[in-house]
Amino acid sequence: MTSLIDRLSPEGRNAPESGIVEVFNAGWGRDDLIPLWAGEGDLPTPEFICRSAKQSLDRGETFYTYQRGIPQLREALADYHKDLYGKDFSPERFYVTGSGMQSIQLAVQAVAGAGKEVIVPSPAWPNITAAVEVHGARAVPVAMREEDNGWQLHLDDIEATITPDTTAIFLNSPCNPTGWVANLDLLKEVLNLARRHKLWIIADEIYALFYYGEGSRAPSFYDIAEEHDQIIFVNSMSKNWAMTGWRIGWISAPPVLGQVFENLIQYSTSGVPSFSQWGAVAALRQGREFLEAQVARARAGRDCLLKGFQDIDRVRVLPPEGAFYLFFSIDGVTDTRQFALDLVRQTGVGLAPGTAFGMGGENYLRLCYARRQDHLEEAVRRISAWLPAI
């Protein structure tokens, strides 16, 4: 049967299997599983959000709708951004998508065709690289390094990677998996670099609110960019409002690109269900309290784990500044893929192996702490008890 596979396009055939799924498959179905491998909390979507979607279904809103998203959601997005960034936003710059993932896919389609290059600081969420390469472009990693004061991205390293084929820099801050957060100075430098080279920035600030520094959110390109800078923001309803399963995201980009994104949406999925979008409207309009509780819960999870890991000598971890992952290493563990497989099989604790996150991530493990504290404590206990055996 390999012959059928051989007849596929190289882009299709070579799309990589997720490096997390293998571990998932090794542990899935265990009664005592503590699944900390995915970027997903353990709370279902709040009832007020589900109710809004159900009411839309009851109104019979089951027809084709606007490719750019229903006006009510685009207005709610504009208001949400105004609250968050303290300036006005036009609803015309927001395009509703079928997930943060699709936002990335569409952004890449828009700015990086076959043969082009997108610079991606690494370690990185693996789907970014895959989304670039499935379109025949090349994701060029820039190594980030863990130094004593945390992960660092150096502007020189980005600049050295630019070639005539480079069309975009993908910047994810706060970062999945490292928890790194770009400060405002770095964002300014990256923006200036991009302006100088006429490059696009794809700004993934999905975890903006999950921020443990000063202020209520991470520094953002919105703080420094002009309306018509070449920045495409990709975002998602998933993390803030416990809506991972809803598959709704958005793009924020200069309104002049509206027709292009409408076309790209038309030819990929042709829009997002109206009733799901009404769920998103409720989340944005009435979800502030829930969102604050989500962030507080993640912060508590983070603190609980940092404290627990302090007592395990072999664990090396720095406090993440943002997002909701610990990205840690263990003395003596070099094959993190095998470690993650063994750990889940023997203890039921599911972690994502660093090998899934590309260059520079190989020696790490990723743990999602947006979860119940007793489960996190139990995970630390099991890891601590099992480590001496390996």
> Binding to a second copy by residue 164, rule CB under 8 A?
no
Candidate list 247, 302, 366, 371; residue touching a second copy; CB under 8 A: 247
360 conformational bin, left if phi > 0, alpha if psi -120 to 50, beta if neither = left
Give whichever of 98 and 354 is closer to a second copy, judged by the CB atom.
Answer: 98
Distance, in Å, from the CA atom of 219 to the CA atom of 384, rounded to the nearest integer, reads 35
The DSSP bridge partners found for residue 329 are: 316, 364
- Give the per-residue contact string, 44-83, with a second copy (x = CB under 8 A; - = no): xx----x--xx--xx-xxxxxx------------------
| Region near a second copy per CB under 8 A, out of 150-158, 274-282, 297-305, 350-358 | 274-282
# binding residues, a second copy (CB under 8 A): 77
Candidate list 95, 210, 211, 246; residue touching a second copy; CB under 8 A: 246
Radius of gyration for the alpha carbons in the chain, expressed in angstroms and rounded: 21
Distance, in Å, from the CA atom of 187 to the CA atom of 222, rounded to the nearest integer, reads 10
> Binding to a second copy by residue 15, rule CB under 8 A?
yes
Closest among 16, 323, 269 to 139, alpha carbons compared:
16
CB 126 within 8 A of CB 16: yes
> Binding to a second copy by residue 167, rule CB under 8 A?
yes
> Binding to a second copy by residue 267, rule CB under 8 A?
yes
Candidate list 17, 88, 292, 335; residue touching a second copy; CB under 8 A: 17
CB 43 within 8 A of CB 252: no
Candidate list 166, 276, 294, 336; residue touching a second copy; CB under 8 A: 276
Residue where the block lists tokens 């292009």: 260
Distance, in Å, from the CA atom of 68 to the CA atom of 265, rounded to the nearest integer, reads 8
* Other Cβ atoms closer than 10 A to 215: 7
> Binding to a second copy by residue 11, rule CB under 8 A?
yes
Give me the least distance between CB of 390 and a second copy, in Å please: 30
> Binding to a second copy by residue 263, rule CB under 8 A?
yes
Candidate list 96, 131, 158, 352; residue touching a second copy; CB under 8 A: 131
> Binding to a second copy by residue 243, rule CB under 8 A?
yes
Give whichever of 53 and 284 is closer to a second copy, judged by the CB atom.
Answer: 53
Give me the least distance between CB of 47 and a second copy, in Å please: 9
3-state secondary structure of 71: helix
> Binding to a second copy by residue 114, rule CB under 8 A?
yes
The gap from C-alpha 367 to its chain's centroid, in whole angstroms, comes to 14
For strand 166-172 and strand 200-204, is the pairing parallel, antiparallel, or unpaired? Answer: parallel
